[in-house]
Structure 1
Amino acid sequence: MGSEPTTGPVPGQIAGPIPGPIPGQITGQIRVSVDIGGTFTDLVVEQGAALRLFKSPTVPGDPVLGIMNALEMAADADGVPLAEFLGRTGSFVHATTRGLNAVLTGNTARTAFLTTEGHPDVLLLREGGRQRPFDFTVPFPEPYVPRSLTFEVRERIGSTGEVLRPLDLAALEHTCDRLAATGVEAVAVCLLWSTVNPEHELAVAQVLRRRLPDVPVTLSHALNPSLREYRRASSAAIDASLKPLMTEYVAGLTGRLRTAGLTGRILMVTSAGGVVDVLDAADKPILTINSGPSMAPVAGRAYATADLGARTVIVADAGGTTYDVTLVRRGEIPSTRTAWVGDEGTGHMTGLPSIDVKSVGAGGGSIAWVDPGGLLWVGPQSAGSVPGPACYGNGGTDATVTDAALVLGYLDPANFSSGSMTLDARAALDAVTERVARPLGLDPIAAADAVLRLTTEQMAHAIQEITLQQGVDPARAVLVGGGGAAGLNAVAVAARLGSRELVIPAVGAALAAAGALMSDLTAVYNTTVPAVTSSFEPARVNAALAGLRERCREFTAHVGAAEDDAIVTLFAEARYPQQIWELEVPLRVGAFVDGSDVTDFEADFHATHQQILGITDEGSPVEVVSWGARVRVPLRESGGVLTARLGPAAPPTTRRAYVRGTGMTDVPVRSLASIVPGELLPGPLLVESPFTTVVVADASTCELSGSGSLIVHPARDARRADTEVA
């Protein structure tokens, strides 16, 4: 969630018939969530104790059409018209990468940036830098808003909130003339020290809304009250640039859903792992910029906890385009304020809380290719949904991970994606032969195996990078495999890491969409009130904390919930004096009553510093930069995971498939729905569910958990052999 959200839409920012939030708890019989991926649009339907999954090809030119197609599939499965199905739907939760893709491709609104006179280069000077400092082939990044659309405002507020130079309203009127002449479509305002005194930003907004009533405005102090000027300016600029696009998208989405018969609540997923009402998402579109990847960790943690009681969990979501990894430590999903759109250091920082996810270009649609030097690569390019892998029969000729898996016999060409697609095995073989086997001088089977093994290595490397850097041995963590392509490599990745246990939820093929159904209405608020424990002023701090709790109460009322339904957590962003970065420390108390509360806070900071950075300085005071509050309103009456038994219990069969060290051989095939709790299945084995196939190409063993997850225990010999190969 973002910081300091306003309590409602700003006039002129919402266009089109966008219904507001429906008060009260969700009471419909059906709850639906949807996640738009690069290849498929995933739909999860929860109806009482039943849980169903649907996948429809993503329509890049009209993502809402892909959603409507998936809803039609769900209605057909119920044997009812779409209007009747939607009429019984109490909530519709949506995760989207619409805003993210717009920023990455530069297809955002023409945005102006207004800042204090004398400081026009805040977006140019920025934070970050090259990951490899001596690689001068990487150009210095362009600012998010060009200098030609950056305008200086004559005013100045000091660090303590005093007005050093009054706002020049006449000059601002002239600036509005220039904005109108340049045809700007959105405006971001970031004035110095507006986090301490927002008087001038509010006055600028009044003038802009009077002079440019149809142009949306984002104020930095309201969106992200951060002391760091670049991230505050960057977040405001990104948010403003997305408002026209996301307002139109949300209006189209809600309009088509309402026309089709939906009367329930429409929610959108945020980057911070929660949900907000669709109107609030349109008002602050930057909140949704990483909404897709943020949901898989929520579901992954829930299943690892329910199935194995795990506290250290690696959640890996393998989609058609990317492999997203998150490390859960001590049961807590990590959050970061340094999330980047684009490459770290050279992209654009969102500056708002976001689930910490590492992504690599390795998924089912990733393209395998051989460079002029004869080296095999997989990704980061993806075949996407159009044309898709060669085996989809839509004109694709590149060899993808899915094509390699089909050549190896891991997929049933006649029953792919719950039978909604028939794969072209010959096209897959031709693509692997032409694009990989011949350039490498290998037979097609060996080439396909090389593609899967390289993909496994890339996935394992992504996990090692995010775990070992934090001092966590991945072999001691539970691995959760999600995404439609998870089953192809999950067991091999677990073996490569030396994992003892792998969890593949029954809803794993749509892990992010399932996580959306487990999420709560959430908001995060911050306020800048500096404090030092050596000279602590409890009155100032307690007033700030009281203000944060009041804002949480306002949010709770805004979403139509009772005050007792909300769960509020207070925290501080603190550091040792002269440190550059802060650490987040939860507060034990709602107000500092006496010196012991301050002493307890110091002790908690020292412990957090030791856990994260490996050192502590208990003799030093602690400096607090800002205070914050998270408010969470649960949407489900019963918590816990979504249990599922998907698909018909098909009888056991066999299929010719590749087993390393043996070659193509008859491998047993079991449907996930046919496995009963307590049954221990040895590999080699293929476990099929409606939307994914779990490849156990070694002597690992599998069993079913109470929630319907497949629990895999990688064989010791497999772990050792895979490590030796690597």
Structure 2
Amino acid sequence: MARIGGDVGGTNTDIILETFSSDSVGAGTFRHKVPSTTQDQSIGVLQGVLEVCDKAGIQRSEVSTIVHGTTVATNISIEHNGAEVGMLTTKGFRDILHIGRHKRPHNFSLHFDVPWQSNPLVKRRHRIPISERILPPSGEVEVPLDEEEVRQAARKFKDAGIKSVIVGFLFSFLNKDHELRAKEIVLEEMPDAYVCCSCEVVDAMREYERFSTTAMNAYVGPKTSMYLNNLERQLKEHGIDADLRIIQSNGGLATVDSCCEKPVNILMSGPAGGVIGGSFFADLDAEKNIITVDIGGTSADISTLAEGDIKIMNPRDSYVAGHPVMVPMIDLITIGAGGGSIAYIDEAGGFQVGPRSAGSMPGPACYGRGGEEPTVTDANILLGRLDPDQMLGGDLKIDASLSHKAIKEKIADPLGMSVKDAALGIIKIVNNNMALAIRSNSVARGVDPREFMLMPFGGAGPVHGPALAEEVNAKGVIAPPAPGITSAAGLLTTSLQYEVTRSYLCELTSIRGNQFEVLQSLLKDLDDEATNKLIKDGVEPSHIRLTRFAECRYHGQGFELRAEIPDGELSSDSIQQVIENFHRQHDTDYGYRYDEAEVELVTLRVVGESASRILEWKELAPAEGNSLEEAFMYERETTFDAGQTLITPRYDRSKLMRGHVISGPALIMQDDSTSLVPPGWSASVSRFGNLMISKSS
């Protein structure tokens, strides 16, 4: 039997296959890359899956599970090509999606863009008010739902050709009846429509964020559902009757059916796998404090993990394409910096790199696919940091003369500088862009990078690692064993997971009356809901783990933080523990706590998960006196950041053993990436094949 992880990037689709019966290093793992097919990601995924099966020499029927990381939903939101959405909302609140929170994205600019107004998820003419009203705090009905108005609105949507509809009523998190009944009526009138209620997508308070999240769900839903169902069908048609799982933005896995119902949960599916994979490989060698930098062809995704914890972003900070999306996401930053990032001279004569990317087609100029603009990859080729005849193990044909031509014509000649200096400039600019993003995800949040190892991966990661580590003062660099497929490997190390929420406001410090019983009842309902979702996916009840959180704030604050709720029955002691957990989390995030202040509960959240089989990665054999001669390949000139060009040895990473130490300058080559060891640095090989690169003492 075998499992496959497939992660779609902007340039390449990375594939890893694990068999369950091998004694070789990597537990019988096989790695593969194919160009991403941006017009339809499933084409590249299917090609990669079929080819890696052939590479491993297994039958397609032996594949039991495929775990997929995709940017389909993300791309729809960024490219503004989602479905035309209709909305039913409470009379008098038609313009909530337009008004938002009156936040100014740039306080002192007169020319800023407001995405929720310039690119609305639901046009105003398609937002129809309905007579109904639920009242807080108990959810009692003040105005009954006018079912005829709902029916007439559905007919208008149908006449307008709208096939995606959301229902967002005021205070539906207290009483779902009106929303669910309105959905029934819409489906009676429009049986083929994609319809979702706000109480189904995010059952929590804050109308604007709830409506926006639901609108995003309907906006990306039809195309995302079509993609996932099409991929599942194509796999079966090619003899692969495997369970298809999708990684969600929070790092957990979900079924195709679940992701079709709530595609808003996979908006950050692509970057999530990288953080999980980076954490997995660092943990193998007991490194807990890491900053992951996933540098692919189009973007760089950055996340900070303290003490091995993958942090979930606060819902108030969760934005996709400028729209608030109140679903759990791994805390990361994405910038337009990758191997395919294009270098250019702007209208003011400034030297810029990114965020525009050459992607996989035409790709960097050196690919010979028609690209004429210089990219970061072209600069690395020209500087000798990537060898043209070794890209993807020699399978990717590279023409170094095209890199020279593009950099000379587009950058060097217009700026009156040498081609080498222009290439060095491209590298320095893109590294500086990434360093600024790393600081914003670490230093700006009170994290000292001097206590962290930088983990660069992705095809372009390790060649930039030392310069980035020096720029942000990190302890050193960890280049994982398979940098180019670390995100795909991460897909095989995570669990099936669902999160369910329910808003309930009460003062925890002075909880009184029947509030304790209400809390107990709500937690039980959430436990049952999370459990039932997993059982529906075929998980045995004994394999389910529930983690419960109270999202709390100090009385008078506008937003809340997660505080874990102890296992077992709710009691006065466990309430006190929740309060203490909140104080501790507040102190961690903000540097202070108010032990005497009232702590208010806002939302209960239960995370249900079922642990999956973890990717097995075996130890390397010890070097035990074996020299580096067997790993040595050849020497070539390489230009480093200070501008010096040195004869630099290349080593075959697959022939390195535990305990080997390589002094810089050196390049360590493998099929899916190249690791750079600058002069004055050294790289040691760890037990599990991580390269620990640091300045020589």
Alignment TM-score, normalising by the size of structure 2? 0.94
> Which one-letter code corresponds to 1:154 in the other structure?
S
> Cα deviations across residues 468-496 of structure 1 (Å, max 9, x unaligned)?
12111112112111111102211111122
Residue in structure 2 matched with residue 129 of structure 1 by the alignment: 103
> Which one-letter code corresponds to 1:218 in the other structure?
C
Residue in structure 1 matched with residue 338 of structure 2 by the alignment: 363
Residue in structure 2 matched with residue 266 of structure 1 by the alignment: 244
SS in 1 for 2:491: helix
Residue in structure 1 matched with residue 456 of structure 2 by the alignment: 481
Cα–Cα, structure 1 residues 288 and 255, in superposed 2: closer, same or farther, change >3 Å? Answer: same
Cα–Cα, structure 1 residues 526 and 208, in superposed 2: closer, same or farther, change >3 Å? Answer: same
1:321 equivalent to 2:302? Answer no
1:216 to 175, 194, 198: 194
SS in 2 for 1:560: coil
Shift of 1:641: 5.6
Shift of 1:591: 2.8
Shift of 1:535: 2.7
2:75 to 82, 97, 101: 101
Contact 1:297 1:515 in 2 (8 A): yes
1:333 to 303, 310, 314: 310
Residue in structure 2 matched with residue 500 of structure 1 by the alignment: 475
> Cα deviations across residues 204-246 of structure 1 (Å, max 9, x unaligned)?
0110111110001111111101211111101111111222212
For 1:517 and 1:642, the matched residues in 2 are separated by 15
1:546 equivalent to 2:524? Answer yes
Residue in structure 2 matched with residue 194 of structure 1 by the alignment: 172
Residue in structure 2 matched with residue 413 of structure 1 by the alignment: 388
For 2:679 and 2:298, the matched residues in 1 are separated by 26
Contact 1:682 1:699 in 2 (8 A): yes
Report which structure shows greater RCO (CA 8 Å, sep ≥6). Answer: 1
1:454 equivalent to 2:429? Answer yes
Residue in structure 2 matched with residue 388 of structure 1 by the alignment: 363
1:634 equivalent to 2:611? Answer yes
> Which one-letter code corresponds to 1:328 in the other structure?
L
> What is the aligned residue count?
676
Shift of 1:310: 2.9
Contact 1:103 1:341 in 2 (8 A): no
1:709 to 676, 686, 690: 690
> Cα deviations across residues 611-668 of structure 1 (Å, max 9, x unaligned)?
11112111112100111111110110x57767789xx975431111113446322101
For 1:684 and 1:167, the matched residues in 2 are separated by 73
For 2:351 and 2:680, the matched residues in 1 are separated by 28
Cα–Cα, structure 1 residues 529 and 642, in superposed 2: closer, same or farther, change >3 Å? Answer: farther
For 2:537 and 2:47, the matched residues in 1 are separated by 29
Contact 2:121 2:219 in 1 (8 A): no
Residue in structure 2 matched with residue 68 of structure 1 by the alignment: 46
Report 1:645-660 matches (<5 A).
Answer: 651-660=632-641
1:678 equivalent to 2:659? Answer yes
Cα–Cα, structure 1 residues 627 and 649, in superposed 2: closer, same or farther, change >3 Å? Answer: farther
2:8 to 21, 24, 36: 36
For 2:192 and 2:620, the matched residues in 1 are separated by 48
SS in 2 for 1:591: coil
1:57 equivalent to 2:35? Answer yes
> Which one-letter code corresponds to 2:12 in the other structure?
F
1:535 to 511, 530, 534: 511
Shift of 1:298: 1.0
> Which one-letter code corresponds to 1:635 in the other structure?
S
> Which one-letter code corresponds to 1:469 in the other structure?
A
For 2:631 and 2:403, the matched residues in 1 are separated by 26
Residue in structure 2 matched with residue 168 of structure 1 by the alignment: 146
> Cα deviations across residues 387-414 of structure 1 (Å, max 9, x unaligned)?
1000000010000000000000111211
SS in 2 for 1:601: helix
> Cα deviations across residues 314-365 of structure 1 (Å, max 9, x unaligned)?
111001011100111232211122455555xxx1111111111101111000
SS in 2 for 1:295: helix
Residue in structure 2 matched with residue 724 of structure 1 by the alignment: none
> Which one-letter code corresponds to 2:255 in the other structure?
D
> Which one-letter code corresponds to 2:8 in the other structure?
I
For 1:104 and 1:39, the matched residues in 2 are separated by 17
Residue in structure 2 matched with residue 25 of structure 1 by the alignment: none
Cα–Cα, structure 1 residues 74 and 535, in superposed 2: closer, same or farther, change >3 Å? Answer: closer
Q: Percent identity?
A: 29
Contact 2:462 2:483 in 1 (8 A): no
> Which one-letter code corresponds to 2:13 in the other structure?
T
For 2:173 and 2:617, the matched residues in 1 are separated by 40
> Which one-letter code corresponds to 1:531 in the other structure?
C
Cα–Cα, structure 1 residues 546 and 521, in superposed 2: closer, same or farther, change >3 Å? Answer: same
Shift of 1:680: 1.1
Contact 2:220 2:264 in 1 (8 A): yes
Residue in structure 2 matched with residue 692 of structure 1 by the alignment: 673
SS in 2 for 1:517: coil
Residue in structure 1 matched with residue 19 of structure 2 by the alignment: 47
SS in 2 for 1:447: helix
2:568 to 584, 590, 602: 590
> Cα deviations across residues 500-535 of structure 1 (Å, max 9, x unaligned)?
221111122122111111111000011122221213
5+ residue gaps, structure 2, are: 21-26, 622-628
Cα–Cα, structure 1 residues 319 and 127, in superposed 2: closer, same or farther, change >3 Å? Answer: farther
> Which one-letter code corresponds to 1:178 in the other structure?
K
Cα–Cα, structure 1 residues 350 and 206, in superposed 2: closer, same or farther, change >3 Å? Answer: same
2:442 to 464, 467, 478: 467
> Cα deviations across residues 98-121 of structure 1 (Å, max 9, x unaligned)?
111111112111110111010001
1:599 equivalent to 2:576? Answer yes
Alignment TM-score, normalising by the size of structure 1? 0.90
For 2:674 and 2:635, the matched residues in 1 are separated by 14
5+ residue gaps, structure 1, are: 1-28, 717-726
For 1:662 and 1:107, the matched residues in 2 are separated by 45
1:248 to 215, 223, 226: 226
> Cα deviations across residues 557-581 of structure 1 (Å, max 9, x unaligned)?
1121211211211110000111100
> Which one-letter code corresponds to 1:335 in the other structure?
I
1:509 equivalent to 2:484? Answer yes
Residue in structure 2 matched with residue 624 of structure 1 by the alignment: 601
